[in-house]
Amino acid sequence: MLGIRVIIIYFIFNIHIYVGESYKDNVKVVKKKYVKNVMSTKTGFRIQFDSQFFFGELNEKYQSEVAITAYPLSESSNVSTSLYFPETDSKINTVGSVNNCLSNSWYYLCAELSSSYRDKKVIGSECGLYKTLSNTGDLVTSTLKKVDLINIGIDSINFNIVSDIDFPIEYNFFLENKNISSNYLTNTEAKIFYAFKEADFVVSFTRLKPRYNYGRLCILEKPLISGITIQGRPINSGSIFIKNCYFSKHIFIGLFNKKWFLDSLQTIDYTLEQETSNCVDENNICLTNSVSHLNILKIILLWIIYFITFSKEICVRKMFLY
């Protein structure tokens, strides 16, 4: 009898565990993206959903809803929420929206999917950082107003950074050089800065190798906020960030039908003096010219001239022969 009582007590004590595991097995977490595009407006955001997702992952028996939360990064605004009910039997309604937001303001935007049928449940979430349009309709994708290259030395590269924010944020600066042929990625140690309002500061990378291509400057922008979404999902500080890279340009070569990546952040050599600097205003790209570079360019030009002259002589000889 004692053994039977022990078994009964053990079963009662652990019954919630078995029920909980059974319930967890019927919950499917969606990893597939169901947000196709986010469009900013002056008073909020319009979210275009992928109708194929609702047709493929769900069926008409599921009761689905998407809870949209626009959580402000600044304390001067309130949280805005809305609900979107996808139509699984129609492709007409594929856009959800959230309004009552301030213009020219940053928001943590999150679309949380919840779909259930009997004891089965499908959940998912897609979140990101977006800014509403200003009065002039400008679309902004970074919290930085200006990123300028100050100078490049033998073993150092210096930048001037201007932020445009009214909330606490963490910036991670690092140099990234990606070799397309070998997919080799080189990162320097990240420089971390904190800002709470519009600020102007200098970021310096020192103890670098001379005459080495460090590629481009990349920045992670991590707002330091905490809150909760409409469905109770916690918003952890620094969990969502924006990555932007500077001083890199894509060059399209029509002759070879290829794209080339031009990275300009290269330290100079001990024996070579930095001469003129050609800057591209659009992307603030500065290319350092040295004596060796000029000599190589001269050799290439001489070969081109020789080739053109030789081709003309052949054409003239053929004309006289015929």
42 and 127 share one domain? yes
CB 229 within 8 A of CB 170: no
Give me the residue label for tokens 């955001």: 45
pLDDT for res 249: 63
Residue 19, H or E segment: helix 2-25
Number of domains within the chain: 3
Residue 139 belongs to a domain: no
106 and 159 share one domain? no
pLDDT for res 188: 78
210 and 264 share one domain? yes
State which of 131, 154, 182 marks the end of a domain.
131
pLDDT for res 72: 96
The tens place of each residue's pLDDT in the chain, 322 residues long, gives 444 443 433 433 443 333 333 345 688 888 889 999 999 999 999 999 988 887 777 766 778 899 999 999 998 889 999 999 887 555 667 899 999 999 999 999 999 999 888 888 889 999 999 999 998 888 899 999 999 999 999 999 999 999 999 999 999 999 988 754 444 566 678 999 999 999 999 999 999 999 888 889 999 999 999 899 999 889 988 888 999 999 876 544 444 444 444 557 889 887 654 444 444 444 444 444 444 454 566 567 766 776 676 676 666 555 555 5
pLDDT for res 10: 40
Q: How far apart are CA 76 and CA 167, in angstroms?
A: 10
Residue 15 belongs to a domain: yes
Write phi, then psi, for 154 (nearest 5 degrees): -70, -40
Q: Which domain holds residue 55?
A: 2-131
- Residue 93's DSSP bridge partners are none
Distances (CA, A) of 132 to 39, 47, 56, 264: 9, 13, 32, 33
Residue 285 belongs to a domain: no
Residue 76 belongs to a domain: yes
CATH number at residue 35: 2.60.40.10
pLDDT for res 14: 43
120 and 164 share one domain? no
